[in-house]
Amino acid sequence: MACANSITVQYFHQKGCHDCEITDPIVDRIETQYKNNTIIISKIETSTVDGFNQWNKYGFLEVPAIVVNNETKLPKEEITEEKLKTLIDEYLVEEENITEYTTEEVTRKEQEIEYINTNLNLPFAYSLGLFAGFSPCLMAILGFLLSFTAGTSNTAKSGMVRATVFGLGLVGSYLLLGLCLLSFRKSIPDLESFSFVTGVIVILIGLNLLGVLKSPVVLDNYFQSSARKYAGTLGGVFFLGILFSFVKVPCTASIPCTA
């Protein structure tokens, strides 16, 4: 089967034709010269029904006749070795230019995809996180954080420090979770398996938040007791920030502030 980029040469001839006997060596030499290129030379006998129909399709009146790439016709009087070589060379150059253009297009698209994947993923992820910060769930966390730090601080400065430490614990736990996911991603062979596993985890978390699926480990009561026990030190506040990242938001309404 001819390749999609190959150049075809149809040579129409007939046995017993004197002019064909002169043209046959020309076609043979062309076939030898271009044997390493994508040139497909078909020698079609017009004495057969199929060969005659193909020859007649191009409107020729005599044989020999040649058609290059199904479009350029050479009747008997125009067939020379030099002209046939020139035609084939022109098509080869054209095919080479098309191939180079296609390769450049593919390379450019790959570079664009790589740019999107590498240069835009981080800003995009950051933007999603920024907008997610205005969700009602995180506003509830912010309300708890402000009331909690205000209730355990003597001055505004102390409250700001404690709020910052609490936030660092919260963010640090999310960063640690992200690194664990990245490490897990690199340990599996393909992205499809990773997507399947993370999809199952997200579904389970969603069912837990809806109350459909109960978690075997309940941290709500533990968080309340820890809040009262460790709220007095900065280290304790940092630990509470880490612990708070694992507690679903509805529990914030039930956690009392400690004075």
Give the span between the Cα atoms of 11 and 43, in whole angstroms.
5
Query: How far is the CA of 191 from the CAs of 34, 187, 188, 194, 199, in angstroms?
Result: 46, 11, 8, 5, 12
CATH of 7-101, one of 3.40.30.10, 3.90.1150.10, 3.40.50.300, 1.10.1780.10: 3.40.30.10
Q: Cβ distance 240 to 226 under 8 Å?
A: yes
Q: Cβ distance 145 to 163 under 8 Å?
A: yes
For the cut 90, the answer to whether the pLDDT of residue 11 exceeds it is yes
**DSSP letter for each residue of 186-208:** HHSS-HHHHHHHHHHHHHHHHHH
Both tokens of residue 104?
């450049």
Give the span between the Cα atoms of 251 and 221, in whole angstroms.
9
Q: Cβ distance 13 to 45 under 8 Å?
A: yes
What does pLDDT average to over the chain? 74
Give the span between the Cα atoms of 90 and 68, in whole angstroms.
11
pTM of the model: 0.40
Both tokens of residue 44?
């079609």
Q: Cβ distance 236 to 148 under 8 Å?
A: no
Both tokens of residue 253?
């309404």
pLDDT for 72-123, tens place per residue?
Answer: 899 999 999 999 998 888 888 887 776 555 556 666 666 666 555 555 566 7
State the pLDDT at residue 54: 92
Give the span between the Cα atoms of 184 and 25, in whole angstroms.
68
Give the span between the Cα atoms of 5 and 194, in whole angstroms.
39
- Identity of the residue numbered 224: Q
At 44, is the pLDDT very low, low, confident or very high (cuts 50, 70, 90)? very high
Give the span between the Cα atoms of 87 and 39, in whole angstroms.
12
Q: What percent of the chain has pLDDT over 70?
A: 59
State the pLDDT at residue 218: 58
Q: Within the chain, which residue ranges are assigned CATH 3.40.30.10? A: 7-101
